[in-house]
Amino acid sequence: MSLFQDLNILIVATNKSQLDEFESTRLLLEDNGCNNCIIYESLDIGIPSDIRNTDIQGCKDWFYKRFFSEKSITDIHFIISLNTNYKFYSVCAYDLLIPIVTPDWVQDSLNCNRLNKTTLYSPNPKHFFRDLEFYVSKCTFNDNEYLFYTNLIVSMGGSYTDILSTDIDFLISRSFMDPSVLVVQKGELSNDIKFIFPTWILECYKTGESVPYEEHLLASGTYTDKTQSCFNESWTKLHNKEFSIGSNILTNKNLKLDKSLKLDHNVLKFLKDLIEHNDGTVIYDELTESNTQCETIVIACHASVVKSQRSMTANLVWLFDILKLNSFVSPDSKIIYKPFKDKIFDEHINVLNASFTKYFGYQRSYIKLLVEKLGGKATTDFSKRNNFLICQIPRGRKYNTAMTLWKGKCTVVNHLWLEDCYLLGEKLDPSLKRYSTLPLTGLETHINQVPNSLFQRHNYSNDNDDLSMSVPQTMTQTTLPTQLDDIDNSDDDILNDPIELPSENEPVHTLNNSQFSAISEDDVTSSVENERIINKSLCTLRDGINLLSKTQSDLTDTTSNINSSARKTPENPSSSSSSNYLTANMGPVRNLNEQLSKNETNEHESDVIEKDDKSISVKNETKREKDTTKEQNDIILKKKRKIEPDTIKHDTRDLDDSFNENRNVDDSNDVKAKEIVETFIRKSLPENEISSIESILPIYDIRAIQTSCLDNLTNIDLCLLKLLGVQLFNEIKDEYKLNAIFAPKLLRTQKFLQSLSFTPLRYALKPDFVENLLKSVRRSKIRSTYHSIEEFCEHFGNQLIEQYSIKEISDDMKHKTELGTKIFERAHLSNVNIFQDINGGTDTIRAILESHGVKKVNILNSKFSKDDILKNDNNSNSENFTSSVTPDYLVIATKTSEVKKLKQLLINSKLQDSNDNVIDSVHIVTWNWCVNAMFTLQVDFKDPTNVLCSTMNETNA
């Protein structure tokens, strides 16, 4: 399946010299399935002169009229440009939320075989955070502070996440005792994550550039009072700085910061300075004579706290959006600009657990914000926990799965359902054509275009012909494939389950643009009058929806009666009326606090589907139909297993056959990986330094096993790593000649403990080494250019390896692995006794011990006798063995009863050698004794730690 299938992309050239480059970009897009690609030469020609840069609505109307004249174009999904020098940039980027990227995004997406994260390719010079990802800790900031800081990050082109991962560059907090900070400090995540005060973000915003962050770092290990002192000092310095750029968009506007915001006093001071720098006035108490002539806007967090306000109300999202647009717009123009409403979903009965697909860039943040403000939970992963899928384009793995395997359990809707539910404050029927029609067309149905003012919307009449959401009489259907083996990982698949789409001859009837137009400043009435009109409109709108639902239900019943004689139609459980649906439960009680798995990717445009090994039960009238359906479902599930994401499946054969699985696919991966590596090297080095790329590669000689990490590498990732000299394996075999381990920290897993027996173990690295190496190779814009091959190899060789080494594995330990003998072999422990109930299992323990030099592992059951205990073959004549004392019996015990019985048999009975009349030495230890010996690669029989019973000292005496 082509990567850019179903996408409409607009290329904007701001001068004629760009046309040649954009023409090649257009051809590349069309060769890879782009639905429509238009090159527009923007010299502001064609835009009416009366449309100013600040005329948001006029600019949107012109944009849709200019580029949507062709029926095949339903929407513009991406805009490609090299700069922002055209009138409709701000409208498209910040109002329509269309991702705007540079041409590099196209080639890099093809290299990665997925749509790359769009923020990395922003042409806006103000987006100096484009390469950075932030985590704002909710442990130290409340909801409004979180909203404040994340909007600041977005204003500077950055991205943020709610999930701690190795992709994070900065963790924003104000305390080193923050639980999020402690998690990272424990070594579970990358040490590259920097902990900083939020003052760094504010200083960058004030100065309009990325300033050094070192002064804002949280000091490691400092006391709370000292940290607070540093934090206060950072705020003082910040308040003394001036804003670099201002505007007059808030002229004659009084902004009141409501107490319900509960913002830190330093944040409130920053907001006050920001508002005044844009020619606004901040008020705190009742209006005075000096400012009663100005329009007043109350900025609050929740609608319930401003019900009594007679002024216009807004929230922080509105404030930052008008600053990005550089134009004043009414808070009533968007539903997300007003103080947030009460939640209508919960975690128990009315559950909203939504995933979304085919939304790009900041559209994803918008969908997530709406879901959360409705009381639901939004996930990028798609699993059986999700009961709603918000979809923009009817194609892809998530969509196909929801419409086939999980149909009836997961409802597919467009974003209008979320927006209308939030607008009306009620749970609406998702089966209405307005919400199930895909794809949507027109400005009125574009994402983020629903106004908050209900009295501007069309009043539904009782005549079905006048309904703005009337059901089209002529509908076409696309069908989903019954076999899913053709679905690829690009989430751009051909669909095949019935979802009704509008025919070419019958457009979807939606509310027209004039009915959704924003309120001008002169039209703003008092809040009392607004509330009266809104309440009346609410009643009218509900009546219209109920009437539409009833009409749709009647049409469905009539159609079913007509077609029942010809064929049987599967029952549609969603055909109930809207009025009944408003109070219906959304499904069984689900615990939304369960942590969902994360496999996010760079923009994370790719979609992940949870494995399901259970059969799907389908109700049928006869037993024969049941059996047939079960067989079909089993086939579908088997097919589904084949289309799981391209997660790492490391080969366990010899080195030359590491990538022989599915040779045809791997050949193309090899070619693509070679192109990416060559591009990376050419961009990193001067041309005169590159005589032969083959002479530079491979950079490394790493043959590694990995544990508890690197499970999501794709085949092309493995090809890239192999070219660079890094090979990963699933099993430990002598013929692999392994010399490295990848792990997030010092672990007690089987693979990690066995890796300490490698001869030699040259590298013990964190997975960040691989992840950052791949990120550097894939990045189109190289941050550093190296002057020579030696400098290049030094950075990616010794420096990178040293940076990501597991510190607990010292150079001294690595040197010990170069010795010709294993640890227990050097200690002359050839035979070891363990019990069958040992934690981890006898097979695992045996494999670990044998890898470290034990020749035989004897397993004891609960009814063992003296004869069952295996004596150690103590051969201590080696010159390398410094101690003459080695136990005759080494037993790893787990229970107190086992220790008592061992003491009875081996010590109390004074078991003696019949020839020499010498008391045998006994050493009874826990498994931790062995683990500590492996972690130090040294056996110390005199150390009493983790020793349960021993006669070693007595025997030695």
Taking a C-beta distance cutoff of 8 angstroms, is the pair 116, 109 a contact? yes
Instruction: Return the higher-pLDDT residue of 167 and 857.
Output: 857
User: What is the average pLDDT across 807-833?
Assistant: 90
Residue 796 pLDDT = 80
Q: What is the pLDDT of residue 285?
A: 59
160 Rama sector, left if φ>0, alpha if ψ -120 to 50, beta otherwise: beta
Contact 766, 806 (CB under 8 A): yes
**Environment class of 252 (CB within 10 Å of its CB; exposed 0-12, middle 13-18, buried 19+):** middle
From first CA to last CA, the distance across the chain in angstroms is 77
Q: How many CB atoms lie within 10 A of CB 405?
A: 19
> What are the pLDDT digits (tens) for 256-280?
998 888 899 999 999 999 999 999 9
- For the cut 60, the answer to whether the pLDDT of residue 567 exceeds it is no
pLDDT per residue as tens digits for the range 614-635: 333 333 333 444 444 444 444 4
Strand partners, 101: 80
Q: How far apart are CA 738 and CA 732, in angstroms?
A: 7
Closest by CA to 115, choosing from 124, 123, 106, is: 106
pLDDT at residue number 627: 47
Give the Cα separation of 419 and 511 in Å (integer): 14
Which of 25-34, 488-497, 672-681 has the least mean pLDDT?
A: 488-497
d(CA 551, CA 556): 9
Asked if 456 and 521 count as a contact pair (C-beta separation under 8 A), the reply is no
Phi, psi of 415 (to 5 degrees): -70, -20
Judged against a pLDDT cut of 70, whether residue 506 lies above it is answered with: no
Mean pLDDT of 341-347: 91
**Alpha-helix residue ranges (DSSP H) falling in 588-743:** 623-642, 663-684, 693-696, 715-724
Q: If we measure between CA atoms, which residue out of 48, 43, 37, 36 comes closest to residue 16?
A: 43
Question: Which residue type is seen at 297?
Answer: I
Q: How far apart are CA 73 and CA 529, in angstroms?
A: 41
359's CB contacts (< 8 A; 6+ apart) are: 367, 390, 392, 415, 447
Task: Provide mean pLDDT across the span 539-553.
Answer: 59
Res. 422 pLDDT band, cuts 50 70 90: very high
Least confident segment among 9-23, 115-129, 307-321: 307-321
User: How many Å apart are CA 243 and CA 199, to the nearest integer?
Assistant: 14
Q: How far apart are CA 272 and CA 291, in angstroms?
A: 16
How far CA 763 is from CA of 320, 567, 651, 739, 786, in Å, comes to: 48, 67, 20, 7, 25
Q: What is the predicted pLDDT for the residue at 186?
A: 77
Residue 519 sits at the vertex; the CA angle it makes with 516 and 523, to the nearest 5 degrees, is: 140
Beta strand segments in 186-274, E: 194-196, 253-257
The average confidence (pLDDT) of the chain is 76
pLDDT at 532 over 60: no
User: What per-residue confidence (pLDDT) applies to 44?
Assistant: 54
Q: Residue 95: pLDDT above 80? A: yes
CB–CB of 7/77 below 8 Å?
yes
If you write DSSP's letter for every residue of 55-104 in order, what string do you get? -HHHHHHHHHHHH--STT-----EEE-SS--STTHHIIIIIS---EE-TH
Give the pLDDT score at 668. 76
Helix axes 842-851, 927-936, angle to 10 degrees: 30
CA gyration radius for the chain? 33
CA dist list (Å): 462 to 513, 546, 549:
22, 11, 13
Would you say residue 14 has pLDDT above 70? yes
Model pLDDT, residue 835: 93
Picking from 128-137, 212-221, 798-807, 930-939, which range would have the lowest pLDDT averaged per residue? 212-221
- Residue 330 has what pLDDT? 92
Q: Tell me the average pLDDT across 518-538.
A: 46
Ramachandran class of 904: left when φ > 0, alpha when ψ lies in -120 to 50, beta otherwise: alpha
Tell me how far apart the alpha carbons of residues 8 and 612 are, in angstroms, rounded to a whole number: 34
Q: What is the mean pLDDT of residues 431-447?
A: 91
Q: Dihedral of CA 386/387/390/391: which sign?
A: positive
Q: Are 701 and 763 in contact (CB under 8 A)?
A: no
**Amino acid identity of 712?**
N
Question: Is the overall model pTM greater than 0.75, yes or no?
Answer: no
Four-residue CA torsion sign, 283, 286, 287, 290: negative
Q: How far apart are CA 509 and CA 469, in angstroms?
A: 6
Q: Which residue has better confidence, 610 or 15?
A: 15
Q: What is the mean pLDDT of residues 97-108?
A: 94
Q: Which residues, at least 6 apart from 601, have a Cβ–Cβ distance to it below 8 Å?
A: 114, 117
* C-beta separation of 499 from 394 below 8 A: yes
Q: What is the pLDDT of residue 954?
A: 57
pLDDT at 953: 62
Q: Are 133 and 161 in contact (CB under 8 A)?
A: yes
Q: Quote the CA–CA distance of 114 and 106 in Å, as a whole number.
A: 10
pLDDT for 170 beyond 50: yes
Query: Where is mean pLDDT largest: 183-192, 243-252, 489-498?
Result: 243-252
Cα–Cα distances in angstroms (integers) from residue 503 to residues 405, 437, 507, 563, 811, in the given order: 26, 11, 7, 21, 70
Rounded average pLDDT over 573-598: 34
Q: Which residue has the higher pLDDT, 569 or 848?
A: 848
d(CA 581, CA 414): 18
Residues in CB range of 133: below 8 A, 6 or more apart = 158, 159, 160, 161, 167, 168, 169, 170
Exposed / middle / buried, residue 430 (Cβ in 10 Å: 0-12, 13-18, 19+): buried
Q: Confidence class of residue 8 from pLDDT cuts 50, 70 and 90?
A: very high
Sign, CA dihedral 934-935-940-942, equals negative
pLDDT at 212: 92
Question: What mean pLDDT is predicted for residues 863-869?
Answer: 89
- Looking at the chain, how many residues does it have? 957
Residue with tokens 């609505």: 57
DSSP string, 317-364: HHHHHHHHHTS---GGGSGGGSPBPPP--BSSSSB-EEEEES--TTHH
Q: Which of 156-170, 597-611, 786-800 has the highest mean pLDDT?
A: 156-170
- Residue 14 tokens, joined: 């701001």
Q: What is the pLDDT of residue 673?
A: 86
- What residue type is 335 in one-letter code? I
Per DSSP (E only), the strands in 743-823 are: 763-765
Neighbours of 153 (CB within 10 A): 22
| Highest mean predicted confidence (pLDDT) among 61-65, 658-662, 884-888 | 61-65
Note whether 156 and 126 are within 8 A (CB). Answer: yes
Q: Among 90-99, 301-310, 799-808, whose mean pLDDT is lowest?
A: 301-310
Q: Write the pLDDT tens digit of every residue in 677-720.
A: 888 888 888 777 776 777 788 889 999 999 989 888 888 889 99
Q: Is the peptide bond before 645 cis (omega within 30 degrees of 0)?
A: no
Is the Cα torsion angle 684, 687, 688, 690 positive or negative in sign? positive
**Cβ contacts of 549-553, under 8 Å, gap ≥ 24:** 549/429, 549/432, 549/577, 549/578, 549/579, 549/581, 550/577, 551/464, 551/467, 551/470, 551/471, 552/431, 552/432, 552/433, 552/471, 553/577
Q: At what angle do helices 527-563 and 415-424 cross, to 10 degrees?
A: 130
pLDDT class of 561 with cuts at 50, 70, 90: very low
Q: Is the pLDDT of residue 548 over 50?
A: yes
pLDDT digits (tens, 9 = 90+) for 878-932: 444 444 478 888 999 988 889 888 888 887 765 444 444 566 788 999 999 999 9
Distance, in Å, from the CA atom of 933 to the CA atom of 398, rounded to the nearest integer, reads 49
Asked if residue 568 has pLDDT above 70, the reply is no
Residue 85 has pLDDT above 70, yes or no: yes
Could you tell me the pLDDT band of residue 34, with boundaries at 50, 70 and 90? very high
Provide the pLDDT for residue 642. 38
- Whether the link from the prior residue into 339 is cis, omega within 30° of 0, is no
Q: How far apart are CA 634 and CA 625, in angstroms?
A: 14
Work out the pLDDT band at 70, boundaries 50, 70, 90: low
Higher pLDDT, residue 359 or 468: 359
Query: Per DSSP, what are the bridge partners of residue 298?
Result: 256, 313
The percentage of the chain sitting over the pLDDT mark of 70, rounded to a whole number, equals 70
Residue with tokens 């400043």, as numbered in its chain: 521
